[in-house]
Amino acid sequence: MSNAAVNAQPITSKKNDISFPSGNRPVLQISSTHDDKKKILFVTSELTDLVKTGGLADVSAALPRALSPLHDVRVLIPGYPQVLECGHPIRLVGSLGAQGDLPACNIGRLDLPDGLIIYVLISPELYERDGTPYGDEHGNDWPDNPVRFARLGLAAAEIAAGTACIRWAPDLVHAHDWPAGLVPAYMRWRGLKTPSVFTIHNLAYQGLMSMNQRRRLGIPVEACHHEQMEFYGHLSLLKAGIAYADHVTTVSATYAEEITTPEFGCGMDGYLRVKAEQGLLSGILNGIDESWDPATDTHLIQNFSMHDWAGKAANARHVREMFGLAPSEGPLFSVVSRLVHQKGIDLTRGVAQTIVEAGGQVAIIGRGDARIEDDLRQLAARYPGQVGVHIGFNETDARCLFAGSDFLLMPSRFEPCGLSQMYAQRFGSLPVARRTGGLADSIEDGVTGFLFDEANVESYRHAVERALAVFGRPQLLNAMRCRAMNSGFFWRQSIAPYDQLYRRLLGDQQATAITF
């Protein structure tokens, strides 16, 4: 394996300008940083600052920052065009040789303005193409995803082993979701002692690939067993993460329990049950970052705070204009969502009539499955001026929707944590949501939102009717808004469990028992 040593040298972030200086010796500092900070490497396929398809990006961006007072957390991400062309300089700091079918690649370092350090895995042939991190603009997965994400996993293991010449090696590696599932696996197969944590953000995306990929990715034959990463005749990157990490977390306590049952376990419930019985699976609720403050958010048409309902109404007027809705004093419901089966958008179509007949309106923003997008366009056509749909996504419009709406509709069939309901509460929009996963853990029924039990229109409609009734009682509505805005699911409340987990895995005597 080539370990060409490099000296950190500024270069531009434009694709074709990346040069790779060589000829210097690597200087690896394995020792711990000052104080009691541990060096933690996050491995992820999305980061809100650079590239985002959903909630994973938000967590990947917010959690390292929230942990930064306690630990030196850095992030490894593939060098997609959105990363390379983000406008911040990237310095080449390391290189990795080819291994089997995994090509040689470089490692760049990108320092975000607030100091978050990102290592960028640079491989034009694997990552520099138009589309999402996972596929083309038509939603087709890239056929070489096994190689793309195996390369990411192996790169992380090489960084952990100190063989990537980047002058930094983590004490612990924290890998996120199936794209980083091979991180703990390669670490184990290489005999590394560095502990690893694997977080499941969504068990439904399992990173399945054919058994034929085994050799080219350097996967040992003994790993192709149902106690490791074999899953019904395939290899699963997600299962690899679960199998080989020293500890597995997911993003809420309720989802951690749910995934050990056949209803939510996506075929892995038995395997996860064993992990849970061994004390190797736990749930830590996500948080939101401090930028979610309606009093200061610059995306909003007008800032507001508790009791300043006129400020909130100004955002509602703006949303109505943006979505082509008729001026109205009635309740405004919003949907801010990836448009996939999980999110129960079909159920929302089923309650639209109830909302419109009660004088309510619905504004929907999101993108995803083409069929769901078409269904929503039809819904808007059926209720002109009452239902507005924007297929697409941008942060400003999403924040205005949270700020302008009275209620957020989130009838998810399952929801590992969910962030939209936390954002909505912070902006005084009461979630109407299914009692599942993180929704159950972050919404107090009748206090900060409305929960329903069954994933069907009838159960959902009943919750919508309760919301409509509260809208008719302004005092109660405003009291609920205040409670929701005060819920405060900030990351600072979630970092203690991560800190305890890291320290326990690192054998820190001071780590207290994990209490989540």
Ligand X SMILES: Nc1ncnc2c1ncn2[C@@H]1O[C@H](COP(=O)(O)OP(=O)(O)O[C@H]2O[C@H](CO)[C@@H](O)[C@H](O)[C@H]2O)[C@@H](O)[C@H]1O
Q: Out of 246, 297, 415, 499, name the contact with ligand X by CB under 6 A.
A: 415
Q: Which of 176, 156, 135 is nearest to 47 (CA)?
A: 176
Segment contacting ligand X by CB under 6 A, of 28-36, 38-46, 51-59, 503-511:
51-59
Using CA atoms of 209, 211, 216, 218 in order, give the dihedral in degrees to the nearest 10: 100
**418 is a contact residue toward ligand X (CB under 6 A):** yes
Binders of ligand X in range 141-180 (CB under 6 A): none
Q: What is the nearest approach in angstroms of ligand X to the Cβ of residue 154?
A: 24
- In the list 154, 229, 251, 376, the residue contacting ligand X (rule: CB under 6 A) is 251
Angle, alpha carbons 505-252-279 (nearest 5°): 40
What x/- string results for residues 283 through 302 when contact with ligand X is judged by CB under 6 A? ---x----------------
Q: Which of 63, 74, 173 is nearest to 493 (CA)?
A: 63
- DSSP state for residue 140 in the 8-state scheme: P
Restricted to residues 328-357, the positions that interact with ligand X (CB under 6 A) are: 336-338
Q: Among residues 391 and 514, whose Cβ is nearest to ligand X?
A: 391
**Side chain identity at residue 191, one-letter code:** G
Please report whether residue 190 would count as binding ligand X according to CB under 6 A: no
Query: Considering beta carbons, is residue 125 or 395 the nearer one to ligand X?
Result: 395
* 380/365 Cα distance (integer angstroms): 12
Nearer to ligand X, 168 or 414 (CB): 414
Q: Which of 238, 417, 485, 495 binds ligand X (CB under 6 A)?
A: 417
What's the CA dihedral at 259, 499, 243, 161 to 10 degrees? 160
Position among 8, 20, 54, 328 found at the interface with ligand X (CB under 6 A): 54
Using rule CB under 6 A, residue 198 touches ligand X: no
Q: How far is the CB of 237 from ligand X (least distance, A)?
A: 16
Distance in angstroms (rounded) separating the CA atoms of residues 421 and 428: 10
> Residue 168 or 323: which CB sits closer to ligand X?
323
CB 241 within 8 A of CB 185: yes
From 48-56, 262-270, 274-282, 503-511, span contacting ligand X (CB under 6 A): 48-56
CA distance 212 to 234: 9
Strand partners, 118: 75, 110
Structure tokens at 423: 């954002």
Of these, 59, 116, 237, 240, which contacts ligand X (CB under 6 A)?
59
- The alpha carbon of residue 237 and the mean position of all alpha carbons in its chain are separated, in whole angstroms, by 17
**Shortest Å distance, C-beta 235 to ligand X:** 23
Q: Which residue number, 66 or 169, has a Cβ lying nearer to ligand X?
A: 66
Angle ∠(266,207,79) on CA atoms, nearest 5: 145
**Three-class DSSP category at 125:** helix
Residue 120 C-beta-side C-alpha neighbours within 13 Å = 30
Contact flag: residue 426 with ligand X (CB under 6 A): no
- Whether 52 has a binding-site annotation, put simply, is yes
For residue 254, state whether it binds ligand X (rule: CB under 6 A). no
The separation between CA 510 and the C-alpha centre of its own chain, rounded to angstroms, equals 30
**Least distance CB 69 / ligand X (angstroms):** 22
- Start-end of H helices in 18-123: 55-67, 81-84
CB of 200 to ligand X, least distance (A): 9
Neighbours of 109 (CB within 10 A): 20
- Candidate list 202, 334, 348, 487; residue touching ligand X; CB under 6 A: 202
Q: Residues 53, 99, 213, 354: which binds ligand X (CB under 6 A)?
A: 53
CB within 8 A of 374, min separation 6: which ones?
none
Binding site for ligand X (CB under 6 A): 52-56, 58-59, 201-202, 251, 286, 336-338, 366-368, 393, 398, 415-420, 438
Annotated binding residues for ADP-alpha-D-glucose: 52
